[in-house]
Amino acid sequence: MRIILVGAPGSGKGTQATRISEKYNLPHISTGDIFRENMKNKTPLGLKVKELMDSGSFCPDDLTIEIVKERLSQEDCKNGYLLDGFPRNLVQAIALNEFSKPEKVINIDVDFNKIEKRITGRRTCEKCGSSFHVNDIGTTSVCPTCNGNLITRKDDMPETIKHRLSVYIEQTMPIIDFYDEHKILFNVDGNKGVEEVFANIVKVLG
């Protein structure tokens, strides 16, 4: 299965992606995670994209497309993959169609007025990358999964969220129409709890 997960920042994409990838045994490819890993390790790529990422802007298309193309050519993707955070605009969606046509696109649809709360309460582990909400874990700064240090990502700061949302509306929402026209779009209500959202995704994926 070649699947794409689309959703605004804070729609719960990452949480659902982990579950889908486990259930269907698909490699979970998150471009955000790839960029963050490079930033953490201070690679040339990480240093190049740091400023853009911290401000909530997109990394360059050609760079991002090349990274995904290379990743999808690896052995573990030969029976499919789950893309999370890519494509994020029409240029990327058209490029992806040229090297690997997706079969299903799941759009996790969340009311915009809920998003700010979801993101400002998000804490991410510096070590394993898992994220949690303060509503679930309280004020602890210790990762429940690996004991690493929990932080608020720079791009999750309130002043950055508005910018990320407007970038999402302008650049990413058009790909939802694009995939709808290609008849491979499935909308899932992301305002529900994690379990219910997952159950609805499983219905779509079969």
179: which 2 tokens? 């995939």
Q: Hey, how many other C-beta atoms are within 10 angstroms of the C-beta on 63?
A: 13
Q: Which stretch binds ligand AMP (CB under 6 A): 20-28, 86-94, 110-118, 193-201?
A: 86-94
Question: Interface with ligand AMP includes 59 (CB under 6 A)?
Answer: yes
Question: Interface with ligand AMP includes 168 (CB under 6 A)?
Answer: no
Distance CA(183)–CA(124), nearest Å, equals: 35
Closest CB to ligand AMP among 78 and 163? 163
Distance CA(12)–CA(8), nearest Å, equals: 9
Distance CA(1)–CA(104), nearest Å, equals: 8
Q: Is 153 a catalytic residue?
A: yes
Contacts of 134 (CB under 8 A, 6+ apart): 121, 122, 123
Closest CB to ligand AMP among 4 and 188? 4
Which one of the listed residues 13, 36, 118, 123 is annotated catalytic? 13
In one-letter notation, the amino acid at residue 25 is N
Which one of the listed residues 2, 36, 118, 164 is annotated catalytic? 164
Q: Which of residues 175-204 bind ligand AMP (CB under 6 A)?
A: none
Question: Interface with ligand AMP includes 123 (CB under 6 A)?
Answer: no
Q: Is 71 a catalytic residue?
A: no
Contacts of 161 (CB under 8 A, 6+ apart): 9, 10, 56, 115, 116, 119, 120
CB 46 within 8 A of CB 33: no
Q: Hey, how many other C-beta atoms are within 10 angstroms of the C-beta on 186?
A: 16
In one-letter notation, the amino acid at residue 9 is P
Count, residues near ligand AMP per rule CB under 6 A: 16
Residue closest to ligand AMP (Cβ): 32
Closest CB to ligand AMP among 56 and 201? 56
Q: Is 118 a catalytic residue?
A: no
Closest CB to ligand AMP among 64 and 200? 64
Q: Is 13 a catalytic residue?
A: yes
Q: Which residues bind ligand AMP (CB under 6 A)?
A: 9, 31-32, 35, 52-53, 56-59, 64, 85-86, 88, 92, 155
Give the catalytic positions in this structure: 13, 88, 122, 153, 164
